[in-house]
Structure 1
Amino acid sequence: MKKQVLATAAGLVLAGACANAGAVTLNPKGLGQVLLFPYYTVNKGQDTLLSVVNVSDVGKAVHVRFHEGYNGRVVMDFLVFLSPHDVWTAGVTTASDSATGGALLVSSDRSCTLPQIPAGGIAFSSVTYSGASASDGGPQTIERTREGHVQIITDGDIRPDSPTARIVEHVQTGAPGAGAPADCSQLDSASVVADLVAPANTLAGSAGIVNVDEGTYFPYNAEAISDFTHVPLLTSLSVVDADDLRSANSDSADGGVPATVFVDGKPLTFTYARGIDAVSALFMADSIYNEVLLTQSLNAATDWILTFPTKRFYVDPGLEPEAPALPFGEAFQAPGEAAARGMHYLYDAEELYVSDPCGQVCGTPIMLPPLNMPYEVTSVAFHRGEEAAPTVSPVFGSRLLRTLAPTYPGWQTGWARLDFAYDEQQSLPGGTANGGSRTLFGLPVTGFMAYNIVNTQAQPGRLANYSGLFRHRSTASCLPSGVAPAPDGSCF
């Protein structure tokens, strides 16, 4: 009997594994077909460094897109051709010394790109949001390109021994760092498309935000999505946005796109009719959690970066004619906002609830107004209650700013929680799991906390900066569709 039970259990595990094979997944191992970098910035004298690694034995064609932070409009995009075992690196800096100038992409990397990146770099463009035909209601200045996020999608692996593979391969001299393609100008658009096959989950990436003058560095790994596509995505170099996050697909007979999500600490596979909903499901969070450090004696400062990587596909009428669409409740409009809300709870390091001026003395905590996060990338700057709210975030100098402070006096360190299951407008319906219709509650979000400490007493006349960056922790909740959200609700 015992052997029968074990055999049955093993069979169920294998059946579940097979059923989930090919589902779009946020890969905790860091490898995938799609990379999401939650934040780039050139504010406050900072540069952002990017590194993309092909760990496989075949080449790759990847589409790099930089999205500005207000509404995710594309401000720079191009193709990078990674040869086997190749690394592509680049930096984002300011196009001028002006604090209101735009961003500039620079790269000395030898990997082939289309178009080629000149030695002086390529300036980011405002064309997708400026002018009467492109305006989305947000700012139209080039300054809008100074901060945002980056998405890299593998259009396909390059067929070995194909014309494209031979062109992008690095000719080696035997000296480390000296290999380079013979002539990237030979790349032919028609050949590139013909030479692509379905990509493997073998792309990795990282970024770092560096301020040379201040001596700060904030490194992080890109979010990796695996099994995003089972076919090459690039079918024509003239088709715009044929390979964006809406392109998630599967080979299922019904055309549905499965996504594996952790709910209540357990993996659960949902199937959606649209690829963009499957990607959003990966990032759905009813709450996020992270720490806050404002210790005055350390001159400490804390920013939270909240990136909603799929938001534009639900709030931008230029991309979604029926905007707004769930999980977002408002369309992007003048003066450049699409409201998303979250309840905030701040605690000190010894369990005191400091969002309430009574602490825990008065019994039931008071309900504060929700925090509005109106941008595709919103920076939350924390400050002590006795201080005036900053006009730019203290760590990154972000202007996509919202501020939070405790109403309880004397708070300097602790942690915070943001709850996104604010109402039924912030939910993602339309998924099926366990044989029924299911709804995930909250918002699709990623990002991190970053803090900086300034030590003015390192040595006489010497200044020292210490910095740290930590990914947000999150929880997801789900109920059968049509049922109101509940703390103990479950889709299992």
Structure 2
Amino acid sequence: MRKNALAMSIATLVGGMGFVGAASADVIVGTGAAPTSAVLGATTATQLVLAAGGIGHQLITPYFNAQNGNATIISVTNTDTVNGKVMKVRFRGASNSDDILDFTVLMSPGDVWNATVTAPTTTAPAQIVTSDKTCTLPQLAAGVPQQFVTARLTSKSGNDIPNNTREGYIEIFNMADIPSTQSLYDGSAVAKQSNLYTAIKHVAGTPPCTSTAINTAILDTNHTAEATAANRGLATPTTGLFGNWTIINVPQTTTYSGSMVAVRALTAGNVDGRGNFVVFPQSATQYPGVINNVTADPVLRTANVCTSLTAANVCTAAAGLPAIPAAFFDLPDMSTPYAGAATPLIQAGTLTAALAVQTVVNEYATDAIISAKTDWVFSMPTRRYSVAMDYSPATSRRLYSQTLDPTLNLPFFHDSNTRINTGNAQQICVDATAQTFYDREEQTKSSGAVFSPGNISITTFCGETSVLSFADSGVSVLGGTVARQDTSSSAFTNGWGVVNVRSGATNLGLPVMGGSFIKATNPQVAAGQSGTYGVSSEHRFTR
């Protein structure tokens, strides 16, 4: 992707915000006993872990869908009733996790932000719309749809480019807190709340969203220095976020819902801590710093990037880097150092290890009596930081980051378990080991039970977020098309299944999340009444 084309596309998104000059930003390890106008508050977090209670510093929505009349509603709650949050929201496409929309949300203490993703037509890109009054950057006007951006997409990832915006997953980060305490903010000689806090704090149900204060603190200011960031009313990020998602189809009267996966930044004592300050301007300006210090994304990096990577972690170095010059809006991502002094490669490896599972287990139903249909969703949100698609050569290539398992020094994704599907959509495919389907009466199928298209023994996930339908050659439960496969007749009518995702000789497993979506119809329902039901359940795992 040429830099000027990207800049023009994203400039449309951020147009009208009035930023001037070049801003720069970086990861800042905070200091001080507590945030003031001079210090951000000491970074105390040393590790990232999954939050069993669902509240954390970062959130992952495994799947969103705007296909076949579906709408996805997302809702994020700031349970911190003292501090505001500077929250990055990024949508990534299902095919190869390309960035299709990102923006900044500024939540006040105790705030809730929600929005809905839809597709206005069957041929248009997805769009997001909200009636929420919470401040965003750029500001999402109430009730006015914002179309997803296709600048990072190409026909190589599927001839129907808008279709690649209608399915995927969502990354959400608390980049910084906005303290409500009083100090000598914004150069004031008298202790007061910061201009930024005043701008984002609701007054009689509505925040002022003062553009001057928000732009000065988030968009125009050089945040490479701790004192500058602190003086603008910012602090190192703490916990407090939880989120929910709902996929609803009004014409088909079906609804599926679940909780976002939460990631906590913990201290060495295993309590919630403060992460690093990771606010980057929401602009298309090229990042001027050392990109390898802030991301493990192999299409953005210039070092430790491989065109071939063996299971033993032997790397063939890539030339012609970076594949895409990083813009400020590309940062932060899930690999940007958040817990202490971790490097992007180590953080990506550690987070992938936390998500990695050995087997994936769930139920399915295709009983004709109730017109039952089943889709399974498999999402691997950290795969991007190990292997990504570079569309720039005449023949697309995989680029690997030499991301290591923190214990074994082995890669989760490598040449032996990944390949490129060279069909209509050039997607990175990941091969697991095997699968077994069971019916409800103890019968099993293993040999020949494949995910089509595949072969006799290998389960394949093509796409970053893939949908597996059960014996359904038509429009499946979710209507997914970007990265969909089908079991054909491999499974039973009803039952459960186990997918083994141990990564060959390394035995590391894969970072899979997702769930089962079952749709059924009551045949006894009276004419003119709805008898359609949707049931969703998260995958069960062994680790």
Normalised to the residue count of structure 1, the TM-score between the two structures is 0.75
Structure 2 contact 447–457 (Cα < 8 Å) conserved: no
Conserved? CA contact 1:395–1:451, under 8 Å: no
Counterpart contact for 1:289–1:474, Cα < 8 Å: yes
For residues 384 and 264 of structure 2, the distance between their equivalents in structure 1, rounded to whole angstroms, comes to 22
Per-residue CA shift, 1:373-392, capped at 9, x if unaligned?
11000001112xxxxx5154
- Match runs of 1:298-309 below 5 Å: 298-309=370-381
Give the corresponding residue for 1:175.
Answer: none
Aligned to 1:187: 213
Q: How many residues are treated as equivalent by the alignment?
A: 399
CA drift of 1:400 comes to 1.5
Q: What's 2:438 paired with?
A: 347
Q: Which has the higher strand share?
A: 1
Matching residue of 1:200: 238
Work out which of the residue numbers 146, 149, 152 in structure 1 matches 2:172.
Answer: 152
CA contact 2:280–2:329 (8 Å) conserved in 1: no
Please give the alpha-carbon distance, in whole angstroms, between the structure 2 residues aligned to 1:100 and 1:304.
25
Q: Deviations over 1:305-360 (max 9, x none)?
A: 000101122222559985276322336575421121231110011221034589xx
Query: Which amino acid in 2 is paired with 1:323?
Result: Y
Quote the Cα distance in structure 2 between the aligned partners of 1:41 and 1:87.
22
Tell me which moved more, 226-235 or 102-111. 226-235
Whole-Å separation in 1 of the counterparts to 2:431 and 2:77: 36
- For 2:384 and 2:474, the matched residues in 1 are separated by 25
- Residue of structure 2 equivalent to 1:55: 79
Q: 2:140 matched to 1:114?
A: no
- In structure 1, what is the equivalent of residue 476 of structure 2? 393
Quick one: which of 327, 331, 335 aligns to 2:412?
327
CA distance in structure 2 between the partners assigned to 1:453 and 1:137 by the alignment = 33
Cα contact 1:382–1:404 (8 A) shared by 2 = yes
Note closer, same or farther for the CA distance 1:171–1:470 as it changes in structure 2 (3 Å cut). Answer: same
Q: What do the CA deviations read for 1:83-132 (whole angstroms, capped 9, x no partner)?
A: 000000100011x32x22210100010000000113321001110123xx
Any idea what the Cα deviations from partners look like across 1:458-480, whole Å, max 9, x if unmatched?
Answer: 1234331111111111112xxxx
**21-30 vs 38-47, which moves further:** 21-30
Letter in 2 for 1:327: F
**Residues 273-282 or 219-228, more deviating:** 273-282
Q: Does 1:84 align with 2:123?
A: no
Question: 2:200: which partner in 1?
Answer: 168
The equivalent residue for 1:249 is 338
Deviations along 1:155-183, one digit per CA (max 9) or x if unpaired, are 011122221111000001xxxxxx00124
| AA aligned opposite 1:218 | Y
| Structure 1 gaps, min length 5 | 1-19, 173-178, 258-271, 359-366, 384-388, 428-439, 477-492
Q: Tell me by how many angstroms 1:137 deviates.
A: 4.9
Where does residue 314 of structure 1 map in the other structure?
A: 386
Which amino acid in the other structure matches residue 285 of structure 1? V
SS in structure 2 of the partner of residue 459 of structure 1? coil
Structure 2 residue corresponding to 1:277, chosen from 335, 349, 353? 349
Deviation for aligned residue 1:204: 0.5
Give the letter aligned to residue 38 of structure 1. Answer: P
Structure 1 residue 402: deviation in Å?
Answer: 1.1
Does 2:128 correspond to 1:38?
no
- Shift in CA distance, 44/422, structure 1 to aligned 2, threshold 3 Å: same
**CA deviation digits over 1:246-291, x for unaligned, max 9?**
114333xxx447xxxxxxxxxxxxxx96211111112101111011
CA deviation string 1:389-445 (max 9, x = no partner):
51543344444211114547xx32110010111413xx5xxxxxxxxxxxx611111
Contact 2:96 2:389 in 1 (8 A): no
Partner of 2:96: 71
The aligned amino acid for 1:347 is: Y
Task: Determine the structure 1 residue equivalent to 2:461.
Answer: 373
> Does residue 1:222 correspond to 2:260, yes or no?
yes
Q: Which moved more, 1:192-201 or 1:153-162?
A: 192-201
For 1:441, give the aligned amino acid.
Answer: L
Deviation at 1:26, TM superposition (A): 0.5
Amino acid at match of 2:214: D
- The percent identity for this pair of structures is 26
SS in 2 for 1:166: helix
Hey, what's the Cα distance between the residues in 2 that align with 1:315 and 1:125? 22
The answer to whether 1:124 aligns with 2:148 is yes
Report the CA distance shift for 1:317/1:376 in structure 2 as closer, same or farther (over 3 A).
closer
Counterpart residue number, 1:445: 512
Residue among 400, 404, 428 paired with 2:487? 404
Change (3 A) 1:357 1:315: closer
Which letter does structure 2 place at the counterpart of 1:284? A
Q: Structure 2, unaligned stretches of length 5 or more?
A: 1-43, 181-192, 224-228, 267-273, 284-327, 392-396, 403-410, 450-454
| 2:35 alignment counterpart | none
RMSD (Å), alpha carbons: 2.6
Distance in 1 (CA, whole Å) between partners of 2:389 and 2:469 is: 29
